[in-house]
Chain A
Amino acid sequence: DGGITQSPKYLFRKEGQNVTLSCEQNLNHDAMYWYRQDPGQGLRLIYYSQIVNDFQKGDIAEGYSVSREKKESFPLTVTSAQKNPTAFYLCASSIAGGAFDTQYFGPGTRLTVL
């Protein structure tokens, strides 16, 4: 089955630790995205990538880093520089990131920093 997987579903970390969230897709999509969702707010774009070995900052990139070494994979690292990392993180992909492309979402990872 084609789709997007994110792991783990729940993640707990101590303050000051870096943590990496996994996102893998087997849809053969070129574009991938990371969003953050906080209660009562719309999704906010952290980073996106439209091609392997290239990525762009979104609206809230500070304290996060990404890599895109393979088409299928777009891991997100939440660094200790992120002031308020507790949130729900969603990964998405689309064919090419164009005007009429639909984004397909993974199940999300809920990160709690203790």
Chain B
Amino acid sequence: KNEVEQSPQNLTAQEGEFITINCSYSVGISALHWLQQHPGGGIVSLFMLSSGKKKHGRLIATINIQEKHSSLHITASHPRDSAVYICAVKGGWDSNYQLIWGAGTKLIIKP
């Protein structure tokens, strides 16, 4: 079993729909990251969470430490949101704070 599991693997939706991508992890963490990978391959960091909720524009990320679960939400989705969304958790000092990566969720928003 992978230490970081994302669901769904693939998601296709219509423009304007509310999108939810889930991430579950099985290890102790110091922080959880959500990143976006564009079709060309470049990766940008969206959020870093250690508790609660963060919002940036139409993106919202939440984390429940007790349940070891995080969600990324996109409101009023748009075709330009089409990308792979990756969840990564950062271990503690014993793992030298290295990131453990999920396999990603490929999102396609149709106009």
Contact = CB atoms under 8 A, between A and B. Distances in A.
A27 interface: no
A60 interface: no
Nearest to A59: B98
Interface string B51-63: 0000000000000
Contact of B99 (A88, A103, A106, A110): A103
A105 B48 contact: no
Contacts of A100: 30-31, 48, 50
A16 interface: no
A32 to B, nearest CB: 13
Nearest to A106: B42
A103 B48 CA distance: 10
Interface residues of B, number: 27
Contact of A107 (B40, B96, B97, B104): B40
A97 B101 contact: no
A102 B41 contact: no
A53 to B, nearest CB: 17
Contacts of B103: 40-42
Interface in B73-111: 86, 88, 90, 92-93, 96-104
Contacts of A92: 43
B40 A99 contact: no
8 contacts: A40-B103, A42-B104, A58-B98, A90-B41, A92-B43, A99-B30, A99-B93, A107-B40
